[in-house]
Structure 1
Amino acid sequence: MRYRAETGDLQAFLAVARELSFTRAAALVGMSQSALSHKIRAMEERLGVRLLERTTRSVAPTEAGLRLMSRIGPRIDEIEAELEALSEFRDRPAGYIRISAGEHSLRTVLWPKIDPFVARYPDIKVEVDVENGLIDIVERGFDAGVRLGEQIAKDMIATRIGPDWRMAIVAAPGYFATRKRPKTPDDLTGHNCINLRLATYGGFYAWEFEKAGRRLNVRVEGQLAFNGSTAMLAAALSGHGLACIPEEMATEHLKSGALVQVLKEWMPTFEGYHLYYPSRQHSAAFQLFVDAVRYRR
C-alpha cells in the first residue's frame, strides 16, 4: 500500500530540515525533541528513504530530503498562509507571524511597534528570531525579515520601518590617556580596536568610512572581538579600546562623558531598516502587522 504522508509529518520534517536542529524544530512545532525524532524516523521507515543525516552534533537533509524540501516547502507554506487568511472571517484578526531580525533592529525599531500591536490584537501571535547574520527567510520558513534597505534582494517586497542611522566610533576617555585620538581612518592602525564578528560571512566587520565622496573600508586589529554590539559597548566603557557601534547606543554615554567619539565626520549614513518578505499572498494578520510597523516620518 502506498504511504500517504500526513501534513503534520511533512511540517515536522520541514521544521528540522530548515532549522538544521531537532531542538529548535521541536520548539517550533510544539513537541518534545524525542517525539519529533521518532516522528521523522517513522516517516522515513514508511517511505523507505532516509531524509536526514544525523550525527551527534548536527543534522542535515540528504539528497532525497533536499528534493522533498524544495518540492513541498512552498506548497506547505501556501497552505498555512491560506489557513491563516481565514482569520479575516473571524470577529477578531488572528494568526501567527514569524520574523527574523537582528538584535539592534529589534531593540530600536521593531519592538517599540510590536509592543502596542500585540496588545491591540491579542489573537495574533508574533515570534521574533534574533539572528545577526543574513539568512534566506523563505528557506527557513519565516514570514518576513528585517535588514538595512541596501541589503534586500530585488525579488523581495520591502517596507521601510525605521529612519536612516549612522555608526559611531567611541572609547572611554581613559583609553586616550596614553594615546592620540585618530584624525583619519589610517590612524586606526595604531589603536586597540574591538572587532565585530559577522555571523553571515564568518570574518570581521570592516569599518566603513566616507568623506568628500571618498569611501573606504578599514580592517582593524585589537585584543577583543564579539558577535554583538552590546558586548562591544560594554568593552569600550571599560576602557579596552575603540568600538564601532550604532550611534544611538552611544548617545547617553557620550552625553554623560563616559565615552568620547572620534572620526565623526567620516561616518556615512545608512538607509534605515526595512521589513522584507516574498511576493506571495499573505494573511490578513500579516497585512495588519506590516501596516503597524511601517515607518511614518
Structure 2
Amino acid sequence: MRREELVDLNAFMTVAEEQNFTRAAARLGTSQSALSHTIRRLESRLGVRLLTRTTRNVAPTDAGEKLLATLRPALDSIGSELASLSALRERPAGNIRITTSEHGATTVLWPVLRNLLAEYPEINVELATDSSLTDIVTERFDAGVRLGEALAKDMVAVRIGPDLRMAIVGSPEYFAKHPKPIVPQDLASQRCINLRMLSGGGLYAWELEKEARELRVRVEGQLAFNNVKMIVRAAEDGFGLGFVMEDHVSQQLADGHLVRVLEDWCPSFAGYHLYYPSRRQPSAAFSVLVDALRYRG
C-alpha cells in the first residue's frame, strides 16, 4: 500500500466518525475543500461511493460501512503499535560504563543499582573496579566514581555519597605488646601495615589532620598490601596498625576485634562523586542513573 492510500483511508474514517466535513477537516488539520478532494479521489480509485452527503450530515454507504469494519481495527492496531514504539523510545534504555573503586562500587553504587536495574530492565551497566584515576574519555567510560577531592576540574561532579572518615586500628593483642600512639609522631615507633597504590606503585602516605594542621606520614612495617581487605585481616591478626576507611572496620570495632587510635587526627572528608565530561549530552538512561545516585542526605 502506498503512503497516499493510507492517508486517504484515514481521512475517510475520520469523516465517517465525525459525520461532518468541517469537524473532520479541523481534526486532521486540513481544509474542507482539500478533504473533499481526498474523499473523491479515494472513491474514484475504489470505484464505489463511500459516503452519502446531505446538507446536514455525512453518513457511510453500505460499501463505506463494509470498509469501515475492516479499516477501524487495522488503523487502531497501527496506532497502538506507534504508541508502544513511542513509549519504548522515551523509556530509558542503553549501555552505561562506569569506572569506580571497589569500595565505591560496593558501598554506593550497588545498593542503588540493584533497585534501579530491576525497575529499568532495558538499562545495562558495566562497572570496572580500579583504584587508579582512569581517563574516562580515553577509556570510553560514560562516567567515573571517585572521592570528591580527586575530581578533575573540567568534569561535572554529582555527589552520590556521605562524607567519609579514615580510621587507624590495631588489635587488642597488638596493643598488649605496643603502647597506643598519642600523637602522629608516635607512629614512627609502631609496626604499620602499608598500602601499595595501584596508580604509580608507591606506598600510600597516611593523611592526617587536626585543627587545620595537615600531615602526611610515611609509616614502616613488616607488611604491605594493595588490597584493603588484607590490611584489615592482618591488623586483626596482630601484625600492626592499619589505616583504612572507617566503614571497612565498623563491625570489628563494635565487636572489639580492633581498637581505634588517633581518632582526633582523622576528620571527615568529601565522599564519593559521580563525574563525567561537561560536554556530554546525557541520555535518558544516564539521566535516570544520575538522579537515582544523587545523594540527598
Please, what TM-score do these two structures have when normalized by structure 2?
0.69
Q: CA deviation at 1:201?
A: 2.1
Distance 1:293 1:136, change over 3 A: same
The match for 1:191 is 190
Residue 284 of structure 1 corresponds to 284
Deviation of 1:117 after TM superposition, in Å, equals: 0.8
Distance 2:87 2:198 in 1: 38
In structure 1, distance between residues paired with 2:183 and 2:140: 44
Question: 1:40-78 CA deviation, whole Å, 9 max, x = no partner?
Answer: xxxxxxxxxxxxxxxxxxxxxxxxxxxxxxxxxxxxxxx
**Amino acid aligned to 1:224:** L
Check conservation: 2:100, 2:127, Cα contact below 8 A: yes
For residues 251-285 of structure 1, the C-alpha deviation after alignment (integer angstroms, 9 at most, x for no partner) is 11111100000000111221010000012112111
Aligned to 2:125: 126
Amino acid aligned to 2:96:
I
Maintained 8 Å contact 1:87/1:94: no
Aligned equivalent of 2:264: 265
Distance apart, 1:230 and its partner CA = 1.2
Aligned CA distance change for structure 1 residues 149 and 208 (closer, same or farther; 3 Å)? same
Structure 1 equivalent of residue 136 of structure 2: 137
Which residues of structure 2 form unaligned runs of 5+?
Answer: 1-84
2:110 paired with 1:111:
yes
Which residue does the alignment assign to 1:295? 295
Name the count of aligned residue pairs: 212
- Match runs of 1:159-238 below 5 Å: 159-238=158-237
* Match runs of 1:44-59 below 5 Å: none
Taking the TM superposition and a 5 Å limit, the aligned residue runs for 1:48-87 are none
Which residue number corresponds to residue 5 of structure 2? Answer: none
Alpha-carbon spacing, 1:273–1:88, altered in 2? closer, same or farther (3 Å): farther
Taking the aligned partners of 1:250 and 1:113, their CA distance within structure 2 comes to 22
SS in 2 for 1:275: strand
How far 1:91 moved relative to its partner? 6.0
Note if contact 1:93-1:123 (Cα within 8 Å) is conserved in structure 2.
Answer: yes
Name the SS of the counterpart of 2:128 in structure 1.
strand
1:88, 1:94 within 8 Å by CA — same for their partners in 2? no
* Equivalent position amino acid for 1:97 in 2: I
- Per-residue CA deviations over 1:62-102 (Å, capped at 9, x if unaligned) read xxxxxxxxxxxxxxxxxxxxxxxx99852632100000000
Cα offset, 1:213, TM superposition: 1.9
Secondary structure in 2 matching 1:90: helix
Report 1:139-158 matches (<5 A): 139-158=138-157
CA contact (8 A) 1:87 1:285 kept: no
* Alpha carbons 1:100, 1:128 under 8 Å: kept: yes
Q: Please give the alpha-carbon distance, in whole angstroms, between the structure 2 residues aligned to 1:206 and 1:88.
A: 53
Q: Partners of 1:214 and 1:133 in 2: how far apart? A: 27
In the alignment, the residues of structure 2 paired with residue 87 and residue 270 of structure 1 have an alpha-carbon distance, to the nearest angstrom, of 45
- The 2-side partners of 1:251 and 1:88 are apart by 46
Cα separation, 1, equivalents of 2:287 and 2:90: 16
CA RMSD of aligned residues (A): 1.5
Cα distance in 2 for residues equivalent to 1:109 and 1:239: 30
User: Hey, what does 2:82 align to over in structure 1?
Assistant: none
Structure 2 residue matching 1:141: 3-state secondary structure: coil
CA distance in 2, matches of 1:238, 1:288: 44
> Is 1:250 matched with 2:260?
no
Answer whether contact 2:100 2:130 (CA < 8 A) is retained: yes
Partner SS state of residue 107, structure 2: helix
CA distance, structure 1, for counterparts of residue 228 and residue 179 of structure 2: 24
| 8 Å contact from structure 2 (residues 91, 284) kept in 1 | no
Over 3 Å counting, the alpha-carbon distance change for 1:87 and 1:275 in structure 2 is: farther
Change (3 A) 1:142 1:88: farther
Q: What's 2:273 paired with?
A: 274
2:252 alignment partner, SS class: helix
Task: Write the deviation string for residues 210-236 of structure 1: whole angstroms up to 9, x where unpaired.
Answer: 112211110111111111211111111
Aligned mates of 2:170, 2:87 — CA distance in 1: 52
Change (3 A) 1:122 1:87: farther
Separation in structure 2 between the aligned mates of residue 269 and residue 235 of structure 1, nearest angstrom: 25
Between the aligned partners of 1:87 and 1:231, the Cα distance in structure 2 is 51
* Equivalent AA in structure 2 for residue 274 of structure 1: H
